[in-house]
């Protein structure tokens, strides 16, 4: 009011700046621990100053970082620190969301189900709205620096040209996603998966991992198995052996939820044979995992003739 203060908007901080902040906040802690903690905080916050301060305060209040005999120490492993959103930060984000129009809230919720980045065309299809209308709503949020930033405009496989948008921060996506009921999230994942199946047509393999995620969360496990296998094969072609193993293991896990039929046995056989290849590359021909995989494949061969 007296003109004695000036607002200084802070840009997102670099990882080095976050390390400086954490080193000052937890002076006396082991330097190796500080570097690892700063890396976790940077990944979690993308360098957003408000988020950094809030997350650090949350870690102290929860006793995850504690002062013992005048020295700061990490009380849990670093992976545990990457989970969850501090309640105070969640309340800030919830308040910002509540100030949006109903249309803006719905489009952001659908966008949060698609992922960190989404196409206006996908959101428009789920909302049953015109793409131009959805783009106008998204552009309004971008201009106000709320939740979204513009990404590259791309032509979709079906010929639709639509703008893409990206959540400014992953925490916005997480809070929006968590606001919805489980039933609504499940239905949206199924809708989005079906929409993208149609849209990509013969190029469906390009987004196999994404479709596997949508159908798994949409509880369409039969489709999820199919796309986890395809995603595993894609990863194998890139020599991404651990990624291939992860997808194929997940396919086998979900396959176990389906009825025990000859078709399920044939699908499992295909998954086991596919799994043996990256296991050999990653762990060696003589590893117990490879032996177990091929022993099960041999048993299935006998079952299906």
Query: Which tens digit of pLDDT belongs to each residue from 82-116?
Result: 666 788 888 889 999 999 999 999 999 999 999 99
Q: Show the tokens assigned to 95.
A: 């308040």
Check if the beta carbon of residue 48 is closer than 8 Å to that of residue 169. yes
Q: For 190-211, what is the mean pLDDT?
A: 91
Which residues, 6 or more positions from 90, have their beta carbon under 8 angstroms from its beta carbon? 175
pLDDT band at 255 (very low <50, low <70, confident <90, very high): very high
Establish if 163 belongs to a structural domain: yes
Question: What angle, 0 to 180 degrees and rounded to 10, lies between the N-to-C axes of helices 120-127 and 131-143?
Answer: 120
Establish if 277 belongs to a structural domain: yes
How many CA atoms are closer than 13 Å to the CA of 128, on its beta-carbon side? 1
User: Which residues span the domain enclosing 271?
Assistant: 182-304
Element (H, E) at 150: strand 148-150
Establish if 5 belongs to a structural domain: no
Query: Which tens digit of pLDDT belongs to each residue from 126-151?
Result: 999 999 999 999 999 999 989 999 99
Say if residue 192 is in the same domain as residue 300. yes
pTM for this one?
Answer: 0.81
Check if the beta carbon of residue 111 is closer than 8 Å to that of residue 123. yes
Establish if 123 belongs to a structural domain: yes
Say if residue 111 is in the same domain as residue 75. no
Count structural domains, the chain.
Answer: 3
Establish if 10 belongs to a structural domain: no
**Domain end point (choices 32, 63, 83):** 83
Check if the beta carbon of residue 24 is closer than 8 Å to that of residue 53. no
Report the alpha-carbon distance of residue 186 to residue 94 in Å, rounded: 22
Say if residue 300 is in the same domain as residue 186. yes
* Residue 259: CATH number of its domain: 1.25.40
Report the alpha-carbon distance of residue 160 to residue 123 in Å, rounded: 13
Q: How many helices (H) and strands (E) does the chain have?
A: 15, 7
Establish if 235 belongs to a structural domain: yes
Sign of the four-CA dihedral 77, 88, 17, 152? positive
């Amino acid at each position: 009011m007296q003109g004695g203060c000036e607002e200084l908007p802070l840009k997102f901080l670099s990882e080095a700046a976050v390390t400086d902040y954490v080193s000052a906040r937890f002076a006396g802690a082991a330097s190796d621990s500080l570097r690892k903690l700063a890396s976790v905080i940077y990944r979690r916050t993308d360098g957003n100053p408000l988020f950094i301060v809030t997350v650090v305060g949350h870690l102290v209040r929860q006793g995850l970082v504690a002062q013992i005999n005048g020295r700061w120490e990490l009380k849990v492993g670093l992976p545990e620190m990457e989970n969850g959103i501090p309640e105070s930060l969640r309340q800030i984000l919830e308040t910002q969301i509540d100030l949006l129009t109903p249309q803006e809230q719905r489009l952001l919720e659908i966008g949060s189900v698609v992922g960190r980045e989404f196409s206006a065309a996908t959101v428009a299809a789920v909302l049953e709205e015109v793409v131009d209308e959805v783009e106008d709503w998204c552009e309004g949020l971008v201009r106000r620096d709320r939740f979204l930033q513009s990404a590259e405009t791309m032509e979709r496989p079906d010929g639709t040209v639509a703008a893409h948008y990206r959540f400014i921060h992953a925490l916005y996506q997480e809070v929006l996603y968590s606001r919805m009921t489980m039933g609504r999230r499940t239905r949206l994942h199924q809708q989005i998966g079906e929409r993208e199946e149609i849209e990509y047509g013969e190029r469906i393999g390009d987004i196999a991992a994404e479709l596997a995620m949508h159908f798994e969360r949409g509880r369409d496990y039969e489709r999820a198995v199919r796309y986890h296998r395809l995603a595993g094969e894609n990863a194998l072609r890139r020599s991404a052996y651990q990624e291939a193993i992860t997808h194929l293991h997940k396919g086998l896990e979900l396959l176990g939820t389906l009825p025990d039929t000859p078709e399920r046995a044939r699908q499992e056989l295909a998954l086991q044979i596919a799994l043996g290849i990256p296991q050999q590359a990653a762990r060696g021909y003589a590893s117990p995992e490879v032996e177990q995989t091929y022993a099960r494949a041999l048993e299935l061969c006998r079952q299906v003739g």
